[in-house]
Amino acid sequence: MIFFDNASTTRTDESCHDIIKKYCFENFYNPSAPYHNAISVKNDIKEAREKILRALNGEDGRLVFTSSGTESDNMALFGAPKRKYSRIVISASEHPAIMNTAMELSQRGYEVVAAEVDECGRVIPEKFFNLITNDTSLISIMHVNNETGGINDIRKLCHIAKSIKKDILFHSDGVQAFGKIPVDVKELGVDFYSISSHKINAPKGCGALYIKRGVSVQPIIFGGGQEMNLRSSTENIAAIISFAHMAMRKTQNLYDNLNQIAALKKHLYDNLPYDERVIKISDENCSPYIIRLALKDVKGEVMLHALEKHGIMIGTGSACSSSKPIKSWKTAFLPQEYKNGLLRISFCTDNTIEQIDYFIKRLNLEYSELIKYARG
Amino acid sequence: MERTILVRIGEIFLKGNNRRYFENILKQNISENLQGIDCSIVYERNRIIIENFMPSNERRITDKLSKVFGIHSISPAMKTKTDIELIKKLCAEISPKNGIFRVTVNRADKSIIKRSMDIAAEIGAYMLSQSKELRVNLFEYDFEVYVDIRENGQTYIFTEKLSGAGGLPVGCSGKGMLLLSGGIDSPVAGYCMAKRGVKLCAVHYHSFPYTGELAKQKVIDLAKKLSAYCGNIQLYIAPFTDIQYAIREKCPAAYMITFMRRFMMRIAEKLALKTGCSALITGESLGQVASQTMESINVTNSVVKLPVFRPLIGYDKNEIIDIAKKIDTFDLSILPYEDCCTVFLPKNPIIKPDLIKVEEMEKALDSMEDLINKSIENVEIINTIDN
């Protein structure tokens, strides 16, 4: 089995096994309880929080554990202080977790505008700055695009946005960035930053929102007052501790991993046929973890199923939205014959050069088979 | 005194000497439908009584029964021994305390001397004495209290008659092979025929890799929805890609759908004969799409000998959608997964194919029999209800 859909989720690292076991069967206590064993779990969560803040280089800020990247995004957009009916700027290529949350805010009276992006989903800075008005209170731009790997220069966008209007709050969805490319929230200058556990080989069910020091936020979930009263719910301790564990590990090995993945991408690009059959959309500035290709005259979905037969799992669009009609930014620049042929290949450090060779071989074979019956 | 559910039998009434046959099938269907719920089922003349169930299951039972064809109406009722004083009290107890009402008594037990009308009047009078907010009007009323005095010394009291699904018990009209696509129409067609007593088998054509696991799962889920009405459906998933490739290679593109449908009919008929089905069922509605014009239907129909039932032929799309919503298949049907018909959809499909021409063109497909047999050999069989 070859898993090339690591942007949708990753396999939980074996090293999490003992952590999960420990916090499910031994230290299973409710961290809010007052006895010793529970307090020790509470301390473990505190330590996990500090680890992740350190990994983000945001130690003087706050970190709220949530259930997912999506929840973190929701918390940032709904919870950030903003004037009623003010303007919210997002990018046209945001993940549905931001896109649909912003749409909901627009239903509730906010003016939501989306900045134009290039073919890799990156905000075009000039067009973006023109959208920032005096009435703008919140901006949300993803760090790494989940479908192309396109990296937004969050530092530049954030600094210039704040120079246009000082009190603007800036959120970035860093779900595909954290643990994969260097992330330094201080340097980026963001007020909020969303991350997710299952994208970095920790279990599903945990996310976090970084909140810059001095920035206030309203909870969107109410109850027992956990997480500094910002996100009530009994903590998912096994996932939280695993998340922190993997965050540390990914940050420590960040450059080694990045080099390994970049080599995979290079190998893929070097060996994919250099002809009209496939367009390599993700360019050299994208995160090498995610690659978008477009096939000529063969549907992405059909290729996905054809490869599935041979044990290769890839993506088409984003797994959260692959059943929805493709939004225009994704294909606007593509010739008609390629518009339905989007593929997403996404790596993790378990992947090997041999897997890529097999993938390319299968892709070529399946392509030459499928193209025979392509729509004429 | 205990809670029971009265089930009245529908159209089977009309069936003179065959009545026993229909009733037995209905009984069988009801007991299958209620499998897994603790209760006992008592069969009487013209009706069926469900007893000995947990009160919390009452709603579940009536919901399930409302989907069994052959049932005319369903009434949750109180059962008590025939004692007028007791009956009066119960009537007052189970009825609303205000509004306009009438009491209807049916007295099968003729050992009771009072006439039905008098008993009704007596009960009504008692109820009026219990609440000042009640009034009687025999013709215009908010609710009706039914009192059914049986011959065995038991009386049933109830206030509501829920409509049953009507129709004939599934299985009494034989077995049919439904061509199930995953769209809106075919599940409705299956429902319509099941309502007339047809036991369903279904065939779905799968074009891997053009249609994926999700498209297949959608069809399985649709068949399961239908199962609530017609019991287990044996679903045959027939691989179709090679046939599509062959047509694509050898026949004009505009005729793609025409040929595909001829193949579908042939495979369906073969499967039907293999599984004891004596008819094919499709969701075709005249003129809805290119393959459903009179000419197209003629060309696809001509490859089979079994009768093809098309219960939706005269329905508008909106009417079909209404039924799909009622039987809860609509939301599934509109999930956007491709089905095999949309995979090689030509830009301009032929609307009025000519049978002689089509037969001539089809000669190019020399391996037709092999393709059909190969598809049938490789069918995947799925039962919608696990036994």
Q: Alpha carbon of B315 to those of B308, B324, B330: distances in Å?
A: 16, 13, 16
Contact A305 B210 (CB under 8 A): yes
Which chain A residue has the Cα nearest residue B250?
A373
Q: What is the DSSP string of B223-255?
A: HHHHHHHH---EEEEEE-HHHHHHHHHHS-GGG
Residues B180 and B162 in one domain: no
Residues B140 and B193 in one domain: no
Residues B30 and B96 in one domain: yes
Contact B210 A308 (CB under 8 A): no
What pLDDT sits at residue B342? 66
Residues on chain B bordering chain A, Cβ-to-Cβ distance under 8 angstroms: 208-214, 244-245, 248-249, 253, 335-338, 344
Residues B281 and B349 in one domain: yes
Residues of chain A with pLDDT under 70: 317-327, 375-376
Q: Which of A315, A323, A309 is nearest to A369 (CA)?
A: A309
- Annotated active-site residue A206? The verdict is no
Q: DSSP letter for B286, please.
A: T
Q: What is the DSSP string of A149-191?
A: -PBP-HHHHHHHHHHHSTT-EEEEE-TTTTTTS---HHHHT-S
- For residue B302, what is the domain's CATH number? 3.40.50.620
Q: Give the closest of B209, B214, B248 to A309, CB-based.
A: B209
Q: Which domains does chain A have, with CATH numbers?
A: 2-9+254-371 (3.90.1150.10), 16-252 (3.40.640.10)
Contact A303 B210 (CB under 8 A): no
Separation in Å, CA of A305 to nearest CA in chain B = 5
Residues B217 and B135 in one domain: no
Separation in Å, CA of A85 to nearest CA in chain B = 35
b/e map of B157-189 (b: 16 or more CB within 10 Å)?
bbbeeeebbebbbbbbbebbbbbbbbbbbbbbb
- HSE (CB half, 13 Å, CA atoms) of A149? 28
Contact B209 A302 (CB under 8 A): yes
Residues B63 and B181 in one domain: no
Residues B181 and B121 in one domain: no
What pLDDT sits at residue A319? 41
Residues B16 and B57 in one domain: yes
Residues A24, A286, A320, A348: which is the catalytic one? A320
Residues B137 and B32 in one domain: yes
Which amino acid appears at position B187 of this protein?
Answer: P
Q: Where is the domain boundary, B110, B142, B166? A: B166
> Alpha helices, DSSP H only, in A24-116?
36-56, 69-79, 96-107
Q: Give per-residue pLDDT as tens, B181-213.
A: 989 999 999 999 999 999 999 999 999 888 888
pTM of the shown model? 0.84
Q: Which of A209, A210, A204 is nearest to A236 (CA)?
A: A204
Contact A305 B336 (CB under 8 A): no
Q: Where is the domain boundary, B132, B148, B166? A: B166
Kindly state the tokens that stand for B10.
Answer: 């529908």
Q: Alpha carbon of A298 to those of A303, A345, A373, B280: distances in Å?
A: 7, 16, 9, 35
Query: Which of A5, A301, A343 to mutate: most B Cβ within 10 Å?
Result: A301
Q: Give the closest of B212, B249, B253 to A305, CB-based.
A: B212
Instruction: Please report, in tens digits, the pLDDT of each residue of chain B (387 residues total).
Output: 799 999 998 766 666 777 888 888 999 999 999 988 999 999 887 789 999 999 999 999 999 999 999 999 999 999 999 999 999 999 999 999 999 999 999 998 888 888 999 999 999 999 999 999 999 999 999 999 999 998 889 999 999 999 999 999 999 999 999 999 989 999 999 999 999 999 999 999 999 888 888 889 999 999 999 999 999 999 999 999 999 989 988 888 889 889 999 999 999 999 999 999 999 999 999 988 888 899 999 999 999 999 999 999 999 999 999 999 999 999 999 987 766 666 677 778 888 899 999 999 998 888 889 999 999 999 999 999 876
Residues B134 and B196 in one domain: no
- The rounded mean pLDDT for chain A is 94
Contact A303 B209 (CB under 8 A): yes
CA distance B41 to B49: 6
State which residues form the domain around B203: 175-383
Residues B269 and B194 in one domain: yes
Is the four-CA dihedral A223, A224, A227, A230 of positive or negative sign? positive
Q: DSSP letter for B180, please.
A: -
Q: Which residues of A touch B211 (CB under 8 A)?
A: 305
Contact B337 A304 (CB under 8 A): no
Q: Which residues of A touch B348 (CB under 8 A)?
A: none
Residues B328 and B183 in one domain: yes
Give residues with Cβ within 8 angstroms of A201, minimum separation 6.
A10, A11, A12, A13, A16, A246, A250, A348
Would you call A306 an interface residue with chain B, using a CB distance cutoff of 8 Å?
yes
Q: What is the DSSP string of A221-262?
A: B-SS-TTTTTB-S---HHHHHHHHHHHHHHHHTHHHHHHHHH
Query: Which of B206, B207, B208 to mutate: most A Cβ within 10 Å?
Result: B208
Q: ipTM of the assembly? A: 0.76
Number of compact structural domains in chain B: 2
Residues 307 through 346 of chain A touching chain B, CB cutoff 8 Å: 308-309, 323-324
Q: Which of A111, A188, A109, A186 is nearest to A144 (CA)?
A: A188
- For residue B78, what is the domain's CATH number? 3.30.2130.30
Contact B335 A304 (CB under 8 A): no
